Every structure is written in C-alpha cells, then in structure tokens.
Amino acid sequence: MKWVKRGCWAAAWGCWVWLGFGLYRELPRQLGPPVCTLPLERGAMALGWVSDTNYYAIQSAHSRDRDVGVLLLDAETGRELGPRSPVPLMKRTFMDANRSAFQVFRSTLRQGVLFGTNPDEREPGERGTREGIQVLHVMSGEWRRLSTKPVAYHVPHPNEPWAVLVERATPPDTDRVVTVNMDTGTVIFSHDFPSRSIVRPPFFVNGPDRLLVVPLGRPNSDVTLEVWKVADPKSQVERVEGFDEGAQQFAFSKNGRMHFVGKFRGPRDDLAVYDVYDFNEQRFLKSLPADEQPKTNGGKFSWHFDGRFAPKIAANGRTVLRFAAQNKGTDAKGQPQSPASLYEVGSGRILWTAKRYESLSDPNVENGFRVVEQWDEIWKEWLPNLKFTTHAHRSLEDGRILFRMANLIPIGSANINSNQTLVVLPEGAVHRLPFPVNYPLLALCQAILALPLVLLWAVLRWRRKRRLRVASVTP
C-alpha cells in the first residue's frame, strides 16, 4: 500500500511538471530588453533586412544639404556601416504596373539588391534619369545597368544572382521577358510576347530545371501560365491554362508549388476542386478534404473566399492556409461561414482550424501567421465585463504555436531577419527572438496548480498525526 501511495504522488507531481512545460510554451511572453535602438530620425523610412545578414537598411530623411540615401546599420550594435548609397528612383512604367510599388521595391532587399535608376547619373539641369533599370548591390554600393527600355516588372531569383525583367513596349511592338545576371549584366534568357499580354510579374520556380513562369492574358480574361526552361537553348516546357484572372491570388512555396483559389477538374459527374499546382511534377493537387468537395455538398463549393486576405502556402509546399471570411455567422446566401483552416496538400487533412474565439490578423509573418485570441468570448455570458485578448504566432508548416504575446506588437515578415533571431519594431527598437518567457507569470501559474497538491498533502499529514495522537491516549 505504501508504494501505491508513493506512485500516486509521483504521478500527480509528474502531471504538475508536464503542465509546467505546457505553460512554458503556451503562456504569453514578454518583449524583453532591446538589443539596441536604430536611429530612425523624423522623415526616415525603414526598408528592411539585407540578404541573410544582421544588417538593416533605412531610407534616410530628406534634407537640403544631402540627398535621400540608403543607410546600413548593424542591428546588433546600432552602428552605421560605410558610406550611404543614393536611393534608386522608381520609373513611371514600374509604378503603373505595380499597385504597391514601394512594397515591391523594398521586397528585393532579401536578395541584397534594390532596383531602380541611379539619381547620380542625372545630367545637370535634368529632373529625371535615363529610361531603363539598374540594380544596386546594397552591401557593396555597386550599380549595374540591366536594361535601357521601360521595365514594368523585375523579380530576382531566390538563389541565383539573376533577375527577370519585363520590358514594356509601345504597341504594336512586342513585350520582352529577359533574364539577366545581376553581377555581370549578361542576358541569360530572352523571349518576345504580344504587347500588354503579361498581366502579372513572372516568377522563378526553385528546382533543378531552373524554370521561369510567365503569366499571360488580357484584362477580364483567363490567365495562362507559360513555363520556360532558362537554358541555352531556351525551350517552352508546358502551358497551363484556365486560371480566372479576376479571383486568382497566387502564393508560392520554395519547392516549386503554387497555390491559387481553385479550379474544377475531372469528369462532369465527379468534379473536384484543385488548388495547388506543382511545376516540377507538372500536375494539379488538392488540399480540400473529401467532405468539402462539391460532390459531397450537392454540387456546391463549400469554402468561402474572402478577398481581403490572400491564400498562403508553406515554404515546404506541404500545407495551405485559407483565409475564410472573418465575420462570424452566415454569408449573403445564409450559409455558415467556413473558419480559416490549415490544410495538408494531397490528403486534405486539417492540421489547424480557427475556433470561435480566434480570428486571423496578419498573414505576412514569415512562414507563419498571427491569430487574435479573444478569450472573453468563452465566458462572455457569465462575465461580460472581463476582457482578455492575446496574439498567437503559429507555424505555417503544421499550425503549432510559436509564441504568444499579451500585447499587439507589429511583427511582419519584413521586420524579422532571415535567421529568425532579431526583430525591429516600428520605433526602431531591436529585440531578440524568440521572446523571453514571462517567468513571474509562469511561477504564479505553477504555484496555483501546485496548491491543491500541497493542501491535500497537508490535510493527509494532519490526519495521520491526529490518528497517532488519538492512538497514543487510547487505553
């Protein structure tokens, strides 16, 4: 009997320790002390992290005695690095073709470059620069001209020192897609397409075949993807058709998969929705489970698309996150809104789904997503005035919790370095990742969990001593 009691106590305290590990992971974390504060003077603008380094780029404030420049800072110390390079100027052709031109402009910093034209090349008395596009290697400050024609789109390769350019022509001339080596200026690939037929930026497919995908179409028409092999000689690999131009929002993984809103494929009596295309395997894939396919729902597509959020695919291409409608209840047709969910590509298995107190907030976290957790939704019928909200950062690969914060801290993908070790907040403070555990809160929770065990031990000990006292005076 003695060993049974001891085993029960060991199991109880073992559960207490196990709960401690769970609280360590789940409890809201604190910001921690800043590593340094970057000098974001008034009028300056954050650009982002440069390549895979711990250097952060800032667009300096405009002043009369100096031009706007790219200021490089060491995020570990806040120290300024080297001379400033002038900020590349965006041309009208590029700005007209890209809705969020500045976001596209600064996104290439992850490859260590910025595209535009060099303002120092302006002739005396001229307001603008020559037509075309140049690339600025931010770390070295070196400029290289890539084209002398108007460029609508420029996309760097994720691994190679290449960039694909779309040289926009004036009708009836043709548009030209060019792949250029950014280090040498050598043209690797070029092909002419009908004027104004390239409706979206081309993109590279990361894989051994070095594929380039060019989206073709016309306004209010379907999009066709032409896949070309970047090689000498060039060759067209395939042509994928039937993407609806109005609704499609493409998301890309690092292993050659593309997620889109979805299209129907298969025989008429067995239609299925496919929403992932694998360029390396040249086939469509499904992420919808069988019970959400039209054939099991009376021919209806059960998933509701919310245009405010773009669908997202994990970097490894294994999972897809769909941003369903954020408002709870029913849609205009009276159908219940589908919760946002994380699906496994191929099997359709749901790895995570939003509960009634959860809503997606920020899809732009690097290979992750942020969820607003309104815990007061659980007890609002009993304690309507007690409010408590946390913000959870989850992995896009399996939906697991990465960390949770009690306060809203703007942490977008542009603010976190490639090694996921540093984050820059809007006011310029640099903090280390992951955020430190709130140990006082953890100790308080563990103390509360241990209190019943301690009280039970105290009661049992008091009863045992009482029995011994009674037995000692019994004749």
- The topology (CATH level 3) of 45-436 is Methylamine Dehydrogenase; Chain H (2.130.10)
Whether 456 shows a pLDDT value over 50: the answer reads: yes
pLDDT digits (tens, 9 = 90+) for 342-397: 999 988 899 998 888 888 876 566 778 888 899 988 888 898 898 888 888 888 99
CA dihedral sign of residues 439, 441, 443, 449: negative
pLDDT, average across residues 103-114:
88
pLDDT band at residue 268 using 50, 70 and 90 as cut-offs: low
Q: Give the model's pLDDT for residue 356.
A: 86
pLDDT band at residue 309 using 50, 70 and 90 as cut-offs: low
pLDDT, average across residues 10-38:
91
If phi over 0 gives left and psi between -120 and 50 gives alpha, with beta otherwise, what is residue 456?
Answer: alpha
Domain boundaries along the sequence of the chain: 1-27+437-475, 45-436
Q: Give the model's pLDDT for residue 67.
A: 67
Structure tokens at 9: 């106590």
Structure tokens at 243: 């993407």
Q: Which of 47, 80, 48, 44 is nearest to 62 (CA)?
A: 44
Q: How high does pLDDT run on average in the chain?
A: 83
pLDDT band at residue 224 using 50, 70 and 90 as cut-offs: confident
Amino acid letter, residue 181: N
Cis ω on the peptide bond leading into residue 83 (within 30° of 0)? no
pLDDT digits (tens, 9 = 90+) for 133-183: 999 999 988 999 999 999 999 999 988 899 999 998 766 678 899 999 999
